[in-house]
Amino acid sequence: MSLGLAIVGYGKMGRLIAQLASEYGFDVRVKFTRENNLHDSGIVPEFLQGIDAAVEFSTPDSAPDNLRRLAALGVNTVCGTTGWYEHLPAIHESVLTAGTGLVYSPNFSVGVNVFMQAVAHAACFFAKYPEYEAWGWEIHHSAKKDAPSGTLKKLAQEIRASGYNRTLTLTANRAGAHPGTHEIGFDSAADTITLRHTARSREGFARGALRAARWLAGKQGVFEFREILGELS
Ligand SMILES: NC(=O)c1ccc[n+]([C@@H]2O[C@H](COP(=O)([O-])OP(=O)(O)OC[C@H]3O[C@@H](n4cnc5c(N)ncnc54)[C@H](OP(=O)(O)O)[C@@H]3O)[C@@H](O)[C@H]2O)c1
C-alpha cells in the first residue's frame, strides 16, 4: 500500500519529487506553496489527513516554521531546504518533544555525501603539510537564495573537523540554470590538487530525499542524511 506524501514547497525540487514519488511507494496527497501556506496557514490537520510523511524544499525563511508545524502535527519530515540551520537546535527540540522524525541535509545526493568523505580524508592528509593552503568554490543557478551554499559550508566544516586549520577561502557564483558544482582545492608552490563534484541535474537530490522519506517511516529522532546513507545502500 502506498504512503501519503505532503510536498511542502512545490518549486523546482518539489515538482521533481512529485514526479518520482510513486517509484518510492508514495502517493502525493497535498502540495504547499507560498500562496496556500502563508505563515504556515496550510499546515493544519484538515489538509494532512492520510499523510504519512512530508518532504520540505521551500525557502530559508519559511522552513523553520514549516518544520515546527509538521512535527507538532505528528508528521515525519525530510527537509532539503538550506540556509536555516541557525534554528536547528530549536527544531531538534521540537521534533524530540513531538516524538516525530526528521532527516535533513544541505545535499541529498548520494554522490555529494561520498564526495564529502573523500574531501575529509584529503584534508586530514594535507593538514600535515604546511605548504598547502585550501579553497572552496561553488556555482548554482541564479535563483538560489543562500550563498555560499549549505553544502560548501558543510564541506568547510568537514575540512576543519579533519584537523586542517590553515587558510580556507570560500567563494560562490550564481548564474544561469546550473544545478550545482562544488570544488575543493589544495594548492602549494609545487602543485594543485582539485576535488570536484558536478550535479548533472536535480534528480539525484530528489531521489535521495525520497529514499530518506521511505527510510524514516515509523522512526523517531533527528538524523542527518549522511548518517543514514549506509542503511539506504
Ligand atoms: N538538500 C538538497 O539536496 C537540495 C537540492 C536542491 C535545492 N535545495 C534547496 O531546497 C530549497 C528549494 O529549492 P528549489 O530549487 O525547489 O526552490 P524554488 O524552485 O524556488 O521553490 C521553492 C518553493 O517554496 C515555496 N514556498 C515559499 N514559501 C513557502 C511556504 N511558506 N510554505 C510552503 N512553500 C513555500 C515556493 O512557493 P511559490 O512558488 O508560491 O513562491 C516554491 O514553490 C532551497 O533552499 C534550495 O537551496 C536543496
Ligand 1 proximity of 62 Cβ (cutoff 6 Å): yes
Mean pLDDT of 16-44: 94
**pLDDT tens, 1-27?**
899 999 999 999 999 999 999 999 999
pLDDT of 154 above 90: yes
The pTM is what? 0.89
* 153 in active site: no
Range list for CATH 3.40.50.720 in the chain: 3-108+203-232
The overall average pLDDT reported for the chain is: 96
The answer to whether residues 97 and 89 touch, using CB atoms and an 8 Å cutoff, is: no
How close is the Cα of 82 to the center of ligand 1, in Å? Answer: 9
The answer to whether residues 136 and 169 touch, using CB atoms and an 8 Å cutoff, is: yes
Of 31, 92, 128, 144, the active-site residue reads: 144
pLDDT at position 187: 97
How close is the Cα of 132 to the center of ligand 1, in Å? Answer: 38
pLDDT at position 64: 97
Range list for CATH 3.30.360.10 in the chain: 110-198
Task: Return the ligand 1 atom nearest residue 141 CA.
Answer: 15
Our mutation pick for probing the ligand 1 site, out of 20, 57, 224, counting the most ligand atoms within 8 A of Cβ, is 57
pLDDT of 213 above 90: yes
Q: In this structure, which topology does domain 110-198 adopt according to CATH?
A: Dihydrodipicolinate Reductase; domain 2 (3.30.360)
CATH number for domain 3-108+203-232, candidates 1.10.760.10, 3.40.50.720, 3.60.21.10, 3.10.150.10: 3.40.50.720
Interatomic CA distance for residues 60 and 203, integer angstroms: 21
* 144 in active site: yes
232 pLDDT band (50/70/90 cuts)? confident
**pLDDT tens, 62-112?**
999 999 999 999 999 999 999 999 999 999 999 999 999 999 998 999 999
**Beta strand pairing status for 76-79 and 53-56?**
parallel
